[in-house]
Amino acid sequence: GIMRDVSGINEMEERLKKELNLQEVVIVPGDSDETPWVKQELGRACAKRMKKRLVGENIIAVAGGTTMAAVADMLTFDFIGNTNTLFVPARGGIGEDVKNEANSICAKMAENTGCKHRVLYVPDQVSKEVYDSFVKEPIIKEVLSLIKKANMVLHGIGDANVMAERRNTKEEDMKIIQDGHAVGEAFGYYFNEAGEVVHKVPTVGLKLDDFSHIEHVLAVAGGSSKAKAIKACMKSATNSTVLITDEGAAKKILS
């Protein structure tokens, strides 16, 4: 019955929290690989946790991906209350489609909540010279300094190979990712099973080291196919991280 299912999930949350050494784990029922609307439930659960944590002035740095897009869909006007909240992309372009890009997701979050957002336009496929001069532009520098002041980060987690394919990764980087046995990916960092970084997409914005100074880190990822990826990425996560996942992924991580 329902009650037994609920307590089963609570118990799983506790076990996963211990196993991954995190501050909090939230599990929504179902498996988003099999049932698409479970991703919306991940979005809803994330929105709820964000609301609980937001007070006063906030800068929220957001990564890309379809799961983050689902979070954006669940944010509403009353959600941010009377906080002063700004959405910024966590990092520059990392080869995603426009709809999966952090810039688009921030715009959607701002629109849905009545808050402001900033964009970070850094080209992906340019020479080092162009890139270096680009990031010296005052407008880019200003957004980068806002990103560094973020008190909350929201990010998805992907399977390393799925993400490398989705981003049309250059062959030489593809080789590094494969030879390094990357299994998980988050905000452009590729991790092996031990949680070590084997490759990073060269771009600007938040660095992995910055995460330890950020009060609220919410990682949102579900689907049993992401079990390995979640486990790997959570190895390098700070213990202030909250993982929002689904039953499909949780069961597989714990088995």
> Which residues contribute to the site for ligand BG6 (CB under 6 A)?
63-67, 94, 96, 100, 155-158, 163, 185-188
Rg, Å, the chain Cα set: 18
Smallest Cα–Cα separation from 214: which of 71, 59, 25, 97?
59
- Compute the least distance from the CB of residue 174 to ligand BG6, in Å: 17
| 25 vs 72, beta carbon nearer ligand BG6 | 72
DSSP secondary structure string, 88-148? EESBS--S--GGGSHHHHHHHHHHHHT-EE------SS--HHHHHHHTTSHHHHHHHHHHH
| 8 vs 202, beta carbon nearer ligand BG6 | 202
| 12 vs 223, beta carbon nearer ligand BG6 | 223
CA quadruple 23, 239, 64, 81: dihedral sign = positive
Closest residue to ligand BG6: CB criterion: 65
| 118 vs 167, beta carbon nearer ligand BG6 | 167
- Compute the least distance from the CB of residue 125 to ligand BG6, in Å: 17
- Compute the least distance from the CB of residue 219 to ligand BG6, in Å: 8
